[in-house]
Structure 1
Amino acid sequence: MQIRDLPYADPGEPDARSGPRFLLWLGRMQLGGQLKSLCWGLLHFLGIAALPYMVGTAVEAVIDRSGTRLALSGGLILLAGVAIAAGDTMLHRTAVTNWITAAARVQQLLARKTARLGAALTRRVAAGEVVAVSTGDVEKIGWFVEALSRFAAAALTVLAVCVGLVVYQPALGIVVAVGIPVLALAVLPLLPRATRRADLQREKAGRATELASDTVAGLRVLRGIGGEELFLERYRRASQEVRVAAVRSARMWAVISAVQVLLPGLLLIVLVWHGVHLAHEGRITVGELVTVYSAVMLLNYPLRHFEEIAMAYSFSRPSAKRAARVLSLQRTEAAGAAGPVDDRGTRGGARAAEDAGTTGGGGSAGSSESAGGREDTGSGEAAGGSQATGARQGSGGGEAIGRSERVGSGEAVGGSRGVGGSGTADRGESAGGRARADAGETSDSTRTADDQQTAVDRGTTDGEPTVVDRGTADGEQTAVSKGTADGEQAVVGTGRAVGKASAGAPDGVLAATPPAGDLYDPATGLLAPAGRLTAVVCGDPDAAGRLAERLGGHPAYTTDLPSVRLGGVPLDDLPLDTARTAVLVQDKDPVLLSGTLAALLDVPASGAVSPERALAAAQCGDVLAALVQGSTADDPMDAHLTERGRSLSGGQRQRLALARSLVTDPEALVLDEPTSAVDSHTEARIADGLRELRAGRTTVVFTSSPLLLDRADRVVFLHDGEVAAVGEHRELVVTHAAYRAVVTRETEEEHTGAEQHARAQDGSHDCGRADDPGHAHHSSHSDDPESGHSNRSGRTGRPGDRGQASGIPVRTIDIEETA
């Protein structure tokens, strides 16, 4: 392959089991270039090796006074010179081509692996190490590939010269044939020590690069806290350690180079002394002595390539090992399990992971009528541990969607939706107000004798589809959705295949499409129902970040955990692009690249959310004004952002990143502390905008802010890596001490004292005050827009900004109940 053909259409699948195996694989992939380089190298080295014979022939022609032989020898020397020049030129050209193409192949492999792993790469390999692998290590690997063909040509040339000398002049040829291998192998005892020193140098250089990368990334913070000189001194020490290691390594290679010069010199002295005695005795001619002497002299040149290949391998072996380590990383090492026994994931036990309306052994019913159609949501749970939920929407159905998800020993979710319906599966709007339906109209759950569980949800209105979800004890389930109107039908079979098929198409005919449905993590028991806003509270911020990455299908530190499931489909079983399209994760510190705002928001998206709507939902009005004010462009979309958005405040950067995520409009959006750097008033507006824009889409927000928690459809509290409580914020802050401690930073003693104080205040004031509906409503919604304080846990502010969120119970009376 030529340089002009780069990059490779497919760099191949490397053998990354070890460094030597990776080098061997790379050599095989470069076989064509290696053969070309070998041929030109043989022409070059054999031309050099032939010169002594031609010179010896010319000397004998002069002694014999033969002009013809002298002219012939001169012509052969001229041809040898042309061959040497042409071979050297093309050898250098092909060798450098091998170096560049090999380095390009490795860089393409690293780039592809980086794209596949995403943010998980820097969790497994330090950022500085990745930089070192993609720069210095690639260069050393390319050097070995380049030197390989030259060494092969040099080794074949040395072998040919030794055989030729034995045939040409056995008395001296035997000495050369014995001495040359000794010279070539004499440096072998020194190579292990040289390799160890080279490894140490490479290790210290990698640490220095990592330290430099981390220092540069945090330079702004270091300058702010006055730690710049401290880290500069650390880098100086690391740099000096690299220099000392490099000097020690260079000393060993200098010894090897000296041996490569000393031993051939000794061989040459012995050879000349022995040859002179043979010539004096008349056993050889002077021309033969000159030929053998010249051959041994010129063999020093190809012999130096033995030193080069040894040095190249010593430096490239640790580099190849590190490159192979990066290339061997996978998204996950463990496939998703069949499912947990119940909602606690793999840890066993009972845990509430469904809405408050779900009851064991049966189900309640609720419905709401709207102008667009009829919406029913049904759910039921069998006593045997099988839970089935069926949902119907719209009576004039033209599109039916069936979904089946098996969780544990038998949880299935089935749903069908008519085109004429309106609303979501969990909420419906009616003329009388908003109605929540958390239980179904009809749900039958039975367990058969062969340990199979069957959940059937049937509609009673003409035109509505019938959904049958069956789950078996081995973790498989079948979802069959049938509709009477023409439309599309989505079927999820065993939880591993997702697709769409037209109505009337044969069962099992599926097309590859991103899955839809509940987002479920079997390891923790976290369940985010489809189309709802779920807030997750976790006492450990690092654990929250890791869980957020797991929900997006990113590899975790521990790879023995089952895969997260979306709509019953393990994310690890999906193609990478499909998984990334279905679930988007925004971490705590999103990166803003330099460029215009329009370029920042020009991301792969569904097209359903415009940049203007996303910016409005993320409350970026002041950000747009600031960009226009600091730019020559009149349109804020044309305003230029500096690297990482350093010209903006932390809250402004966070809101732009949130707008970028909202533009993408994924099936499931996971946000990790998306409003940690904004003030409370802006945060409240962001919460409302997020809820409105993501209506009907699955959204998971990791936060401990009471403002966001109060606006979530459901709140999940994680403790010690497991779901500890599920409910609404105002319920959990009163009933769950651990949740209250995380959200309000209030200890149990402080909470008890606050309750006693509240009871004392109630006793000392008018008894009717607590029963005033207007007062109760005001107490439970006491956000003060003029306070300027934050309701977020960990911020300063009045504890009464949100009565129940502060840990003080406030009696709330429903006006409809009093009526």
Structure 2
Amino acid sequence: MTNRLFDASVAPASLPEADVRGPWAYLWWLVRIRPWPLVLSGLLGAVWMVPLALIPLVIGRAIDEAGQGGGQADLYLWSLLALALGVVQALAGAGLIQAAVGAEAHALSHTHRVLMRHVVRLGAALRGKARSGDVAASAAADVESIGNAFEVVGRTIGAVFAAVLVAVALTATSPLLGLAVLIGVPAAVLGIGPLLQPLQVRDEAQREQMGIATSQAGDIVAGLRILRGIGGEAGFAERFRRTSQEVRRAGESAGRMEAWLQAAGIFLPGLVTVGIVWFGARLALQGTITAGELVAFYGASAFLTLPVSTATEAAETLSLAKVAAGRVCTLLRLTPDATQPAHPEPLPPGPLSLADAHTGIAAEAGRLTVVVAPTDRTGDLADRLTRPGGSDDGAPAVLLGGIPLDRVDLAELRSRVLRSGPTDTLFSGTVREELTAEAAHSPHDLDRALFTADADDVVEALPAGLDTRLDEGGRALSGGQRQRLILARALLAAPDVLVLEDPTSSVDAHTEARVAERVAAARAGRTTIVFSDSPLWRGVADREVRLDADRIPGSLDRSAGVPS
């Protein structure tokens, strides 16, 4: 893309590097960098769940007090206690919602930020390292799954704490019933465990299919004009239908496993409740426990279905979060092609020369050089000239102002060297925002860039001129209009070194001639390299370099008029 690439030094200091050793390591990293939302959520979860667990015990005690001839004062006292527990639960519930949403927002925002920071760090290298669908799915579905896991933590902590409290209280009343609770509830939770691994496998399969479908959809939308031109629209639509059916089948498979998990979360604690009620009724008939204690045991056992269902939800959510965190870690482990040198060397001020002894490309400072090379090689050559490590064949480094490219500070390199090629795109927003990138440019500079790129007529034809909103990719524009706006954006950035890959391939000869002459005049005194075999560009060049497929350089210095 035609922009200034990301400088890691400007990343927010408050956001440390993520732990990407694995999904659990990443989730624990999110907890460590801001634990208080989860701590508060857990405390409020306990305060919210405990009154709900104690209310059956209070009601049972009230029944016993009434049956034993207790006075109205005792009955009112227990009733007020039940009311107080209800008020505490309501207040804690309101706080729990806020704390849980805060914990969820923390996980969402930090995951979004580390993803965005790393995507920008990767820059153009991302295209060759990950599918666009994987990036989009991680930024949407995976981030949401991680946030859901943080939201459920508070309720889960409260459920566990309340379940232990109820088990202790029931054990104090009846050791046999308490033992039944202590055995039955964990058994119900453990009974759900065998379903988690198959659910995780199916979730991963569904996530993989979603990434493929998203990538295909993006490719079809981006190339719809071309597909229609070659009659391939129906074929690609059929491919996407087949892929979408794969997504549907994967979703149904995961959904069936989720349904079994939900059913187990209801059935297993239901069995525990039935068993405790049956056992408690027998103890009541034997006179071992009172009627009030039987009611308390029934209410408590019915309450225990809530902790079990909460534990089921937490297990399912954490399973999804593990899959999502694994995908996020996969993206975060991608490495950029260029790395910051340990001891960067500053570039000299003023115009910069660019020389590559391996290919024979030599651009003198402040001059326009046209490189004629096989079309399928221009992208690799432009990579080599503008990106440290652009070639892995052991060739000598490219020299920028006499400094090896891999020794230049990345921030300085990306502020002084700009590459614009056929893969550049226009983003959504107004034309003015797109061209200026919200940087400080005078109206005169903007008008001059549009004139140089012969794009002023493109802006004049738009309904609101520079304030016209563009769709993503500038789909409403023709190929030539998009190319000229992209060139204007590159010219407006005014880098010391500008590398252009066939910048006029989509315009007619008359427009190309005007653009070539104007670029040569506007870039006078600044280094410009143009990859093109057009005679119109070669006619305005200060220097021409010809490269064959075997990288055997041959050049002609027009200023000297003799082969160099």
TM-score range (shorter-chain normalised) is 0.7 to 0.9
> Structure 1 residues 559, 92: CA separation in 2 closer, same or farther (over 3 Å shift)?
farther
2:359, 2:553 within 8 Å by CA — same for their partners in 1? no
- What is the distance in 2 between the residues matched to 1:723 and 1:80? 82
- What is the distance in 2 between the residues matched to 1:643 and 1:609? 27
- What is the distance in 1 between the residues matched to 2:201 and 2:58? 45
Alignment of 1:318 with 2:319, yes or no, is no
Shift of 1:650: 2.4
Instruction: Name the SS of the counterpart of 1:661 in structure 2.
Output: helix
Give the structure with the higher percent helix: 2
1:418 corresponds in structure 2 to: none
1:599-678 matches, within 5 Å, as 599-603=433-437, 604=439, 610-618=445-453, 620=454, 623-625=455-457, 627-628=459-460, 631=463, 644-678=473-507
Aligned with 1:148 (options 143, 150, 153): 153
> Structure 1 residues 15, 550: CA separation in 2 closer, same or farther (over 3 Å shift)?
farther
Shift of 1:132: 1.4
Shift of 1:692: 2.6
Shift of 1:717: 4.3
1:290-301 matches, within 5 Å, as 290-301=295-306
* Partner amino acid, structure 2, of 1:534: T
Shift of 1:79: 0.9
> Structure 1 residues 106, 643: CA separation in 2 closer, same or farther (over 3 Å shift)?
closer
2:345, 2:409 within 8 Å by CA — same for their partners in 1? no
Aligned with 1:703 (options 532, 535, 543): 532
1:19, 1:320 within 8 Å by CA — same for their partners in 2? yes
Instruction: Name the SS of the counterpart of 2:304 in structure 1.
Output: helix
> Structure 1 residues 176, 661: CA separation in 2 closer, same or farther (over 3 Å shift)?
same
Shift of 1:682: 3.4
* Partner amino acid, structure 1, of 2:452: A
Instruction: Name the SS of the counterpart of 1:728 in structure 2.
Output: strand
Instruction: Name the SS of the counterpart of 1:230 in structure 2.
Output: helix
Alignment of 1:26 with 2:30, yes or no, is yes
CA RMSD of aligned residues (A): 3.4
* Partner amino acid, structure 2, of 1:17: R
Moved more, 200-209 or 108-117: 108-117
1:342-357 matches, within 5 Å, as none
- What is the distance in 1 between the residues matched to 2:227 and 2:254? 34
Structure of larger gyration radius: 1
Alignment of 1:582 with 2:416, yes or no, is yes
1:86 corresponds in structure 2 to: 91
Shift of 1:195: 0.7
Alignment of 1:62 with 2:69, yes or no, is no
2:345 corresponds in structure 1 to: 497
> Structure 1 residues 185, 628: CA separation in 2 closer, same or farther (over 3 Å shift)?
same
Aligned with 2:53 (options 49, 53, 56): 49
CA deviation digits over 1:457-491, x for unaligned, max 9? Answer: xxxxxxxxxxxxxxxxxxxxxxxxxxxxxxxxxxx
1:332, 1:556 within 8 Å by CA — same for their partners in 2? yes
* Partner amino acid, structure 1, of 2:18: P
- What is the distance in 1 between the residues matched to 2:396 and 2:160? 53
Taking structure 1 as the reference length, the TM-score comes to: 0.61
Shift of 1:37: 0.9
CA deviation digits over 1:258-283, x for unaligned, max 9? Answer: 22222222222322333233333333
1:548 corresponds in structure 2 to: 382
- What is the distance in 2 between the residues matched to 1:128 and 1:280? 65
Instruction: Name the SS of the counterpart of 2:234 in structure 1.
Output: helix
Taking structure 2 as the reference length, the TM-score comes to: 0.87
Alignment of 1:713 with 2:542, yes or no, is yes
- What is the distance in 2 between the residues matched to 1:693 and 1:283? 99
* Partner amino acid, structure 2, of 1:74: S
Aligned with 1:287 (options 286, 292, 312): 292
Shift of 1:573: 5.7
1:191-590 matches, within 5 Å, as 191-332=196-337, 496-498=344-346, 517-520=352-355, 526-541=361-376, 543-553=377-387, 565-569=399-403, 576-590=410-424
> Structure 1 residues 118, 607: CA separation in 2 closer, same or farther (over 3 Å shift)?
farther
1:538, 1:544 within 8 Å by CA — same for their partners in 2? yes
Shift of 1:517: 3.2
Shift of 1:595: 5.6
Shift of 1:671: 0.6
1:710, 1:730 within 8 Å by CA — same for their partners in 2? no
- What is the distance in 2 between the residues matched to 1:287 and 1:98? 40
Moved more, 110-119 or 316-325: 110-119
1:516, 1:566 within 8 Å by CA — same for their partners in 2? no
Shift of 1:331: 2.7
Give the structure with the higher percent strand: 1
- What is the distance in 2 between the residues matched to 1:517 and 1:293? 83
Instruction: Give the unaligned 5+ runs of structure 2.
Output: 1-11
> Structure 1 residues 646, 180: CA separation in 2 closer, same or farther (over 3 Å shift)?
closer
> Structure 1 residues 287, 597: CA separation in 2 closer, same or farther (over 3 Å shift)?
closer
Instruction: Name the SS of the counterpart of 1:498 in structure 2.
Output: coil
* Partner amino acid, structure 2, of 1:664: A
> Structure 1 residues 161, 612: CA separation in 2 closer, same or farther (over 3 Å shift)?
same
Instruction: Name the SS of the counterpart of 2:240 in structure 1.
Output: helix
* Partner amino acid, structure 2, of 1:176: V
